[in-house]
Amino acid sequence: GGSRLFSIGEAYRIDLSSIPDRIAADGNEITLDVSVLDLIDNEVEREVEYTIKSQDGKITAGSFMSPLLKLPSASLPTGKYELSFTVDSISYTRETVIYRTADDRAPYATPLWLPQDKVTAERGSKTVPVRVATGYHGSPILCEICNADSVISRRWLDPGDKIMTIDVDAPAADNRVWVRFAGGHDLKTESQTVLVLPAESRNELKIKVESFRDKIRPGSEEQWSFRMLYNGGNAARIPVMAVMTDKALNALSPFFWSLNPRGSVYFSPASSISTHSIGSIGGAAVFSDCKYARYEAGVMPDWNLYGKSLYGDSYDRILSFKSISPARASNIVSRESRILDHEAACESAAADASLQEVVTVGYGVGSNMKKKSMSVRGSDNGGEAADVSGVELRDTEHPLAFFRPSLVTDDEGIVTLGFTVPNFNTTWQLQLAAYTDDLYSAVATYDALSAKPVMVKGNMPRYLRTGDKTSVRASLMNNSDTEQQVAGVIELFDPVTGKVIKRQDFAAETMKPKSSRTISIDYDTPNDAQLVGIRCYAIGGDYTDGEQDIISILPSSSPVFESKPFYLGTEAGDIAVELPKYDKDASVTLQYCDNPIWHCLTALPEITTPKSENVLAKASALFGNAFADGIARKYPQVRTAIQYWTEALKTGADSTLVSNLQKDEHLKAVALENTVWVNDAAAETMRMQHLTSLLDANANRQAVSSLIADIKKAQKRDGGWSWLPDFESSVYITTGVLLNLAMISDMGYVPESESGDIAEMASNAVKYIDKESYDSYIRNKKQIYPLAALRWLYIRQYFGVKAENKEIASYLDKSLKAVAQSWRDFGIYDKATAAILLHRSGYAKEAGLILESLRQHAVTTPERGMYYDNLSSGWQGFPRLITTAQVLEAFAEIAPQDKSVDLLRQWLILQRQYGDWGYDTHTAEIVHAILASGSEWTADSEQAEITIGGERYDVTPARYTGALTIQLDPQKVAGKTLRVTKHGSHPAWGGVLAQYIAPSDEVKAASTDQISIAKEIYALDNTEAGTRLSAGDLKTGQKVRVVLTVKNASDLQYVAITDERGACMEPADQLSSYTQTDGIWVYRETRDSQTNLFISFLPKGVHQISYDCYIDRDGSYTVGIATVQSLYAPLVTGHSAGKTVNVK
């Protein structure tokens, strides 16, 4: 539903949001930030034409290359300007004021001008100068001065034609002063405020470097000192915190301390002033004295430790691999690789092998990973092998150097940090945070480049898949100030046995100072490997460096989910489904629900308790209690079913009252605990298990009586209701209350003992709205709006109240005739409403015409029933559901024997398969419409017959719903005919879900009539014309966009997409988060080998969901499939085709 704006072809726009409303031109140059953005909001460099028009009509024009326009200040005198910028013949305009601090007049004609909005008192000064002006000579300005406790003064000022200076008493250290101004001219008013700060606000804590080196060497001993200065003196014995982290991690999640506890001390002015323009009369100043409490909100630092422990070397953790035998894995200690969240790594190691997350192994007791290299000889390239024995090998990741939160300065205000530089080449980011007893604070950040004179840096993949042909690269760097002869080595080895699989030596070459070169080794991933180790070395003279990592090798196969769903309509007694051929190792499951009307009953909301004390909430709760009591009395089989489900749940004999999200885990591509819907599932289960409230008739009736008494007490003398007791009556609130009373009256759920009170309240309320509506009719020159008339008359006719006088009676009659004449212009919902109203009002012909129109606008199929394909999904699909329910009510009342009644019920019932209907009164209306119309579908019927290839399957189904799940033998049922025969006119649904593992590049796309998914990878090329998407060859370093096109024929809830990436694709967004793509809110979870997308509500339609990656290495790689599945209805699933990508 809704609409979206989009562009086609090459298009650019100019972003002027960085240009301020006023610019102080005190320097020699004015710089304007004028960004040009392409279709996907990337900033591009373009030639932009500009014109600058002053108030006197003088125009300056020219062109520049975006984004910065620099102009000499002297060319732009003080004044107001119109700035216009043009690119591709489209112009963008913005106004700004240019002024100088030394100006003695307002820069342009304005009722009020303030050169500054904040002034700080000088130390020792008793007053503070505040400057103000008006652009209209002789126009007075109202000035009010107040602090946080009281109003100090109010007076009128006459600045004349120059800037006026007033002296304001400097505030105390624990206070603030606000100087408010209001001016007006020619019916235009304006108000502004100057905040005056005490001299103490200049207090400042500073961090000064005593000793620090911004270039350090791994393994060296360092001692750095920093001095804390407070108001110019040493800050002795104050707390200091220090942390040093790998700065490269800021690219994933920026890590910068922010410590400003005094920023949380709030001061509120004791008075406020505002101006209002009143028609063509003039302006008015409004004062209000008010009292506020000053308070302080404590701020605590939040340490980002990247999932690591504060204490000890806890980087390594023991994890298990399902794909490795216990004997082989026993001496392996696993560690996280490129994963900041340790929980995600643990979850991945315990996951099913088919969806196993990548975990990289590291060092452990008895492991063949070495901290120092063994002496290894031999070379694949036939040259002399370098001796790398004794070269210290480091990890490829080292996020934290140290964290020291409990430092204290000495008597001189100095804090000293002594540490050993970790064996890691990176830029370390040191952060210091200090604070005084009175909560003045300072934060400082320093960068230190840690590098050996000769070093190596490997470009390691996150993982590989069997059959991938990859290239492992490493950079050799000469960081010294002299030329070096630098050789390199890359080794691939088996981390379990320690055996070198492949080695390549790279002869020494002369490298200039501060230069680098790239070495690489090709690797064809074998089909029988699960891990591969990589070591990289650099050797140059007396300098050596080395690093190592372990890469997981995943199978180049994908878990495949394929479904054959089926539906039996109201007139279908049986259905035959041809089953496909299945792999012998496939898991094949048949699911069938014989009578899903009972699933609709489990959607009944718990709305018996008022959500607040307002009268609308109480009216809604009245509806909920009356509905609960009424439906249990009118449909005793509902009470019996709920009693059975409740008792059977306790023994585990029935799971009807358990959320679909929590059932059938073995049929789902993603386990519930790995999604964002754990709480949703628990909430739905809790709601369904509260259906026992329908069984407590006494409690429901007592609640009805109590709520009716409260609502009656809240009714005003004029017959209306208000939002709160002291408010005036409101037509909106009164209509809402009447609607709830109308619904329970129409359903027949009003207790006889309460009918008199409800009739009395309704009569008075109807007369109130009649009068208000008639008065509005007169004010609008007797113009009638048919839709508004329809909505009131529809509610009104439930109560049969006579009009108070002839004038109102005539107005109501004209309104009814307007509805009868205008119904063709209404939407589906309003047409159904009009049909009911007109039928009850004697307009039988018009009512019949509306039904025919509703029938012709609908889509009808034997499998799906009767529905409206062009309705907006709206919030959670309710507009589509409640509209169809309203049409059902119209047909059920006007033409109860029409076959459309059962067809509409059929479509509504089938929608329950796809999601939780929630917690709204609309759900109760929908369920009541289904129960109160058409054929009797809640009666017991004979068990459905299921045969496959002529063999009958006798499985005891769940009571009432007739639901069952059968695990099938894939070889036995492959290629056979499934035949289901149901007994009864109710609809039914079912399907066969197959799960198997297949080579990714052999998987063909599969879909159902409910959902499909296609996957494409496009290169994002930055050309002179902007960013373009192309489906050409992929290149190393290129940015690509993965586009997943999902088509779904119905509104779906809880949709999960798992997309397997190629080993060459590094996600552009490393951290998981909510994002919006193609108008759909998605939680995107980035894992090592796949990207998971969780969509809580997917409206019917075609959606393109995308995310970006970078191609980080050349070779040939398996790209797995993308699978889409409703975790609420696992039979609704599909997947894309697998493919292989080649990178040059």
Per-residue confidence band for 348, with pLDDT thresholds at 50, 70 and 90: very low
Share of the chain above pLDDT 90, in %: 69
| Predicted TM-score (pTM) of this structure | 0.76
Q: Quote the CA–CA distance of 113 and 117 in Å, as a whole number.
A: 10
pLDDT at residue 428 in the model: 96
Q: What are the start-end ranges of the E strands in 425-468?
A: 426-435, 441-450, 454-459, 463-465
**Backbone angles phi and psi of 1081, in degrees to 5:** -80, 130
As to burial, measured by CB atoms within 10 angstroms (0-12 exposed, 13-18 middle, 19+ buried), residue 94 is middle
Residue-wise pLDDT for 225-271, tens only, equals 999 999 889 999 999 999 999 998 888 788 989 888 876 567 788 87
Please say if the pLDDT value at position 136 is more than 80: yes
Q: Each residue of 63-122: pLDDT tens digit? A: 999 999 999 999 999 999 999 999 988 899 999 999 999 999 999 999 999 999 999 999
Q: What is the pLDDT of residue 276?
A: 59
Check residues 382 and 534 and name the one with the higher pLDDT. Answer: 534
CATH classification (class only), 316-394+453-554: mainly beta
Contacts with 973 (C-beta within 8 Å, 6 or more apart), sequence order: 579, 582, 588, 948, 949
Among the listed ranges 29-33, 174-178, 363-367, 726-730, which one has the minimum average pLDDT value? 363-367
384-422 pLDDT per residue, tens? 677 787 788 888 888 999 999 999 999 999 999 999 999
Q: Is the pLDDT of residue 6 over 60?
A: no
**Is pLDDT at 342 greater than 50 in this prediction?**
no
Residue 308 pLDDT > 70: no
CATH fold group of domain 559-595+941-993: Jelly Rolls (2.60.120)
| Rounded CA separation 139/189 (Å) | 11
Other beta carbons within 10 angstroms of residue 1108's beta carbon come to 15
Tell me the three state secondary structure of residue 322. Answer: coil
Q: How far apart are CA 922 and CA 735, in angstroms?
A: 16
Contact 267, 198 (CB under 8 A): no
Residue 362 has pLDDT above 90, yes or no: no
pLDDT of residue 886: 95
Q: How far apart are CA 143 and CA 153, in angstroms?
A: 8
What pLDDT is recorded for position 264? 59
pLDDT digits (tens, 9 = 90+) for 527-563: 999 999 999 999 998 889 999 999 999 999 999 999 9
For 760, the token pair is 């009395």
Give residue 382's pLDDT.
Answer: 45
User: For residue 735, what pLDDT band results from cuts at 50, 70 and 90?
Assistant: very high
Residues 953-988 have pLDDT tens digits of 999 999 999 999 999 999 999 999 999 999 988 999
In contact, 997 and 354? CB cutoff 8 Å:
yes
Please state the length of the chain: 1144
1024 falls in which pLDDT band (50, 70, 90)? low
pLDDT digits (tens, 9 = 90+) for 25-40: 999 999 999 999 887 6
The reply to whether domains 13-99 and 559-595+941-993 share a CATH topology is no
pLDDT at 387 (0 to 100)? 79
Name the pLDDT band for 1120 (thresholds 50, 70, 90).
very high
pLDDT at 40 (0 to 100): 66
- DSSP label of 672: G
Mean pLDDT of 761-779: 95
Domain 203-260+398-450: give its CATH superfamily: Macroglobulin (MG2) domain (2.60.40.1930)
Distance, CA of 226 to CA of 66 (rounded, Å): 42
pLDDT band at 491 (very low <50, low <70, confident <90, very high): very high
pLDDT value at position 274? 67
Q: Using 50, 70 and 90 to split pLDDT, how confident is the model at 429?
A: very high
Domain ranges for the chain:
13-99, 118-201+268-296, 203-260+398-450, 316-394+453-554, 559-595+941-993, 607-713, 715-824, 1003-1143
CATH (one of 2.60.40.1930, 3.40.1160.10, 1.10.3720.10, 3.40.710.10) for 13-99: 2.60.40.1930
pLDDT digits (tens, 9 = 90+) for 891-920: 999 999 999 999 999 999 999 999 998 777
Amino acid at 735: T
Instruction: Check residue 1061 and report its DSSP letter.
Output: P
- In percent, how much of the chain has pLDDT > 70? 88
On the question of pLDDT at 438 being above 80, the answer is: yes
| Domain 1003-1143, CATH among 2.60.40.690, 1.10.3720.10, 2.40.50.140, 2.60.120.260 | 2.60.40.690
Containing 628, the helix (H) or strand (E) segment is: helix 615-634
Enumerate the H helices of 456-504 as residue ranges: none
Tell me, what's the pLDDT at 181? 95
The per-residue pLDDT for 872 is: 80
* Least confident span in 452-466, 689-703, 1042-1056: 689-703
Output the pLDDT for position 9. Answer: 47
User: By the 8 A CB rule, do 1088 and 348 touch?
Assistant: yes
Residue 691 or 998, more confident: 998
Q: What is the pLDDT of residues 600-617, one digit of tens each?
A: 989 888 788 888 888 999
Q: How confident is the model at residue 1026 (pLDDT cuts 50, 70, 90)?
A: low
CA 169 to CA 177: how far, in whole Å?
8
Q: Looking at residues 424-452, what average pLDDT do you find?
A: 93
The CATH number that domain 118-201+268-296 falls under is 2.60.40
The pLDDT assigned to 34 comes to 94
pLDDT at 570: 86
Q: Write down the pLDDT at residue 1100.
A: 93
Q: Which of 217-226, 341-350, 446-455, 803-812 has the lowest mean pLDDT?
A: 341-350
Average pLDDT over residues 291-296: 44
Please tell me the predicted confidence (pLDDT) of residue 305.
Answer: 52
> What rounded mean pLDDT belongs to the chain?
86
Measured CA to CA, the distance from residue 75 to residue 321 in angstroms comes to 71
Q: Which two tokens stand for residue 905?
A: 């019920």
Q: Model confidence over 159-206: pLDDT tens digits?
A: 998 999 999 999 988 889 999 999 998 888 899 999 999 987 777 899
157 phi and psi angles, rounded to 5 deg? -115, 150
As a whole number, mean pLDDT of residues 262-281 equals: 64
Among residues 1054, 1141, 1042, the alpha carbon closest in space to that of 1096 is found at 1054
